[in-house]
């Protein structure tokens, strides 16, 4: 793994309840990183939480157990035919019939088989590598600042894609493959809600490697807490003053 070069210390200003998680997808076994303890039986989305609370990097490998569909999405194992056909979602009452569950699977991002053999998880401040994806659990105010840091110098659109099942794919695989920053509400994803993984007001934001330097640079330059967000009256006053100033300047054109 290449050593980390991007300075992410600006993230400490958020005082997140739980730290952002750096992910790295690897073909070869990672050096200087301990494996996930074999007695930990976790789903892929639970591993994000484990990285937030354990305080040290670890990796998931092909030899590990995983309690949901994470290894299937990562291309580490095949999906059982009964699951692929949509039987589980119908029985969970997420879909009216298996066909709807099956149709949804066509949209979920996955890695081709055996392309990824290991995934490293680390709290952002303990990651000695450049992340492939950085995942943050933010409250609404924090999320507004993070997402604004993406569009601040680029005009990039806010982007949210997910599905009611397999939400972990949209936080890990989709940003890496598409290059898009993605955000989602965990309570809209069946497994995340059922496992009670994140606070009720959480927004999950996944930033892929090509956007991390832009985010870090913009966070260090921009105003985090905008004056117009202090109150409705301040918003109206500031916005009105700007319109008045611009209108006055245009009269002389």
Give the mean model confidence (pLDDT) for residues 40-46.
95
pLDDT tens-digit series, residues 171-196: 999 999 999 999 999 999 999 999 99
Residue 13: per-residue pLDDT? 97
Segment holding 99, helix H or strand E? helix 98-105
Q: How is 156-210 classified by DSSP, letter by letter?
A: PPP-----SS-THHHHHHHHHHH---EEE-GGGSHHHHHTT-S-TT-EEEEEETT
Q: What is the band of 2 on the pLDDT scale with cuts at 50, 70, 90?
A: confident
pLDDT of residue 38: 86
Percent above pLDDT 70 for the chain? 100
Print burial letters for 96-116: b (CB count within 10 Å at least 16), e (below 16): eebeebbebbeebbbbeeeeb
What is the phi/psi pair of residue 136, to 5°? -120, 140
Residue 252's pLDDT band, with cuts at 50, 70 and 90, is confident
Is the separation of the CB atoms in 52 and 22 below 8 Å? no
Mean pLDDT in residue range 58-83: 94
Give, for 92, the enclosing helix (H) or strand (E). Answer: none
pLDDT-derived band at 10 (thresholds 50, 70, 90) equals very high
Cα separations in angstroms, 33 against 56, 128, 133, 204, 244: 9, 10, 17, 25, 58
Cα distance between residue 117 and residue 112, in whole Å? 11
Residues whose CB is less than 8 angstroms from the CB of residue 215 and which lie 6 or more positions away in sequence, other chains included: 146, 149, 150, 181, 207
Q: What is residue 5's predicted lDDT score, i.e. its pLDDT?
A: 86
Lowest mean pLDDT among 37-41, 196-200, 239-243: 37-41
Residue 34, token pair as written in the block: 């301990």
Q: State the pLDDT confidence band at 60, using cuts at 50, 70 and 90.
A: very high
**Confidence label for 253 from pLDDT (cuts 50, 70 and 90):** confident
Note whether 127 and 4 are within 8 A (CB): yes
Q: Is the pLDDT of residue 1 over 80?
A: no
CA angle 208, 210, 56 (to 5 degrees): 50
Place of tokens 């496992």: 195
Per 3-state DSSP, the chain is made up of helix, strand and coil in percentages (nearest 5) of 40, 15, 45
């Amino acid at each position: 793994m290449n050593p980390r070069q991007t300075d992410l210390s600006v993230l400490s200003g958020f005082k997140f309840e739980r730290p952002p998680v750096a992910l790295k997808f690897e073909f070869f076994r990672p050096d200087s990183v301990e494996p996930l303890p074999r007695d930990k039986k976790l789903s892929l989305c639970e591993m994000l939480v484990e990285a937030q609370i354990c305080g040290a990097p670890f990796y998931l490998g092909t030899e590990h157990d995983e309690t949901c569909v994470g290894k299937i999405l990562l291309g580490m194992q095949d999906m059982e035919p009964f699951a692929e056909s949509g039987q589980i979602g119908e029985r969970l009452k997420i879909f009216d019939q298996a066909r709807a569950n099956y149709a949804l699977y066509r949209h979920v991002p996955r890695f081709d088989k055996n392309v990824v053999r290991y995934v490293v998880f680390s709290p952002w401040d303990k990651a000695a590598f450049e992340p492939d994806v950085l995942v943050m659990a933010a409250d609404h105010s924090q999320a507004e600042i993070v997402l604004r840091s993406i569009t601040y110098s680029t005009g990039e659109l806010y982007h949210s894609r997910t599905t009611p099942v397999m939400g972990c794919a949209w936080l890990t695989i989709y940003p890496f493959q598409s290059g898009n920053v993605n955000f989602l509400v965990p309570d809209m994803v069946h497994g995340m809600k059922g496992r009670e993984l994140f606070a009720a007001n959480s927004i999950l934001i996944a930033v892929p490697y090509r956007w991390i330097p832009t985010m870090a640079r913009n966070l260090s330059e921009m105003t985090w807490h905008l004056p117009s967000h202090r109150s409705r009256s301040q918003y109206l006053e500031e916005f009105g003053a700007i319109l008045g100033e611009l209108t006055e300047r245009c009269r002389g054109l």
